[in-house]
Structure 1
Amino acid sequence: MTSRKLGTLTIGQAPRADITPILDQHLPASLPRVHLGVLDGMTHADIEAQFTPQPGNGTLISKLLDGTAVVLDKLAVRAVLQSKIDALVDQGCDVVLILCTGEFHGLVGRTAWLVEPDQIVPPAAAAIAGDRQVGILVPLVGQIESEYQKWQGLRKRPICATASPYADPNDTRELEAAARQLRDQGAELLIMDCMGFVERHREVAKAASGLPVILSNALIARLTAELL
């Protein structure tokens, strides 16, 4: 059997202590892996100088090693991603997993198998949803408009609500309210469209809404495991 090496790339700082346990549940324990982040080694001042959202640009949210959540300019993140992928390939990774559900166009893995959640989660979820109404949870209000384009493969236009996966873990009111809002608007299935949402978020949303909930990073972890 061919030996594999996994590289993961977060748009925040690596390693992501919230996401890697989900990957570990599905990946072989002996699998070599390398974790990189777009913001690795940067201070808050560095990040503000290079990645502060600019008017008219999309936004992304991620997490730093100190636990801080940061909102980033999507175009500035995209400008760095390819060099980070190249660095993982240069370190011998033959599978590279992007730990972000945002849409990025034109990325290449060179000799590596590049796994991009934005190209996998929407069509997979659309196939599961069928004719049912989908409700989508995103972290930022500014991301909602782009969600309609991203999820155009759904048979029904999705409804969206916002809740941050990086809020105080002891205060689940925002997430509960968002999940109930989607249910009350007719959602029959919820999708947590951010890699920062983890199992505890799924359980909160499921309990609040009474609906099935798809967790993007768990879906991607299962599918990536098939390559490894």
Structure 2
Amino acid sequence: MNGHPGKSPRRLLGTLTIGQAPRPDITPILESCLPPDTDCVHAGVLDGLDPRRIAQRFAVRDGQPVLVSRLLDGTHVTLDKAAVRQAMQPRLDELEARGCDAVLVLCTGEFHDLKLSHAWLIEPDRLVPPAVAALAGPRQVGVIVPLAEQAVSEAGKFSVLARPPLCEVALPYGGDTDAVARAALALRDRGAEILVLDCMGFVRAHQQAARQACGLPVLLSNAVVAKLTSELIA
């Protein structure tokens, strides 16, 4: 990390997914934006856990907020948000202890009281809504979320928008872009003028499908976060 004499020191960026690391869907988008002198180390809240242990520790509770993420085998899992939040801090501490200059959370969910002692903590829920608000101005924003429950539980983070967002649901996992296209078209028909794919699991193929379906600007959350992260650590 310290580099060689006469050369600029390399930067170490840590990422924390609420699923299992590495995330082959997200990391190419991130790494394409990072400065060439950046190394990455990836960790996940569910690393090392089999489906039985995941179900035991992160079981969804009736009426409580949920999140969805990807496992190493490409399948997705729905998780209790409070249990995920509790498990995140130790993983963040581990990444900082490994010498990370900054740690990026690979989830757009809204969390509270996460912290690091020295490294920069980059939380998408603090970056994406203000960026969307600045770009959209008075225009109506449409948001595509992975789960219907998140349209309610995650709505508070978009309170910075000029108008309450319109929401539709489409799961990013499984390789099917048709659901995203249908959601984008529905949002346009409801009056949306700009769309946000509000999950780090949405990728360029989802963005392209949404744009082709509705003809509106479509913001990809992980790309927005990746570009801002690259500016921070450059």
Q: Place the TM-score, normalised by the shorter chain, in its bin.
A: over 0.9
1:38-74 deviation digits (Å, cap 9, x = unpaired): 0001001110111111123210000000001000000
Give 1:121's aligned residue: 128
Distance in 1, Cα, partners of 2:135 & 2:154: 18
Amino acid across the alignment from 1:221: A
Q: 1:87 aligns with which of 84, 94, 100?
A: 94
Give 2:23's aligned residue: 16
1:90-119 deviation digits (Å, cap 9, x = unpaired): 000010000000001000011110000001
Q: Does 1:63 align with 2:70?
A: yes
| Matched residue SS, 1:32 | strand
TM-score by length of 1: 0.96
Structure 1 runs, 4 residues or longer, greater than 6 Å off: none
Give 1:214's aligned residue: 219
Q: 1:151 aligns with which of 149, 152, 158?
A: 158
Tell me the C-alpha RMSD between the 2 structures.
Answer: 1.0
Give 1:133's aligned residue: 140
Gaps of 5+ in 2: 1-7
**Identity of counterpart residues, as a percentage?**
55
Q: Once structures 1 and 2 are overlaid, which stretch shifts more, 143-152 or 98-107? A: 143-152
Distance in 1, Cα, partners of 2:59 & 2:81: 9
Q: Does 1:173 align with 2:163?
A: no
| Matched residue SS, 2:160 | coil
Task: Give the count of matched residue pairs.
Answer: 226
Gaps of 5+ in 1: none
Give 1:200's aligned residue: 205
Amino acid across the alignment from 2:217: P
Q: Does 1:184 align with 2:189?
A: yes
| Matched residue SS, 2:38 | coil
Q: Is the 8 A contact 2:11 2:37 kept in 1?
A: no
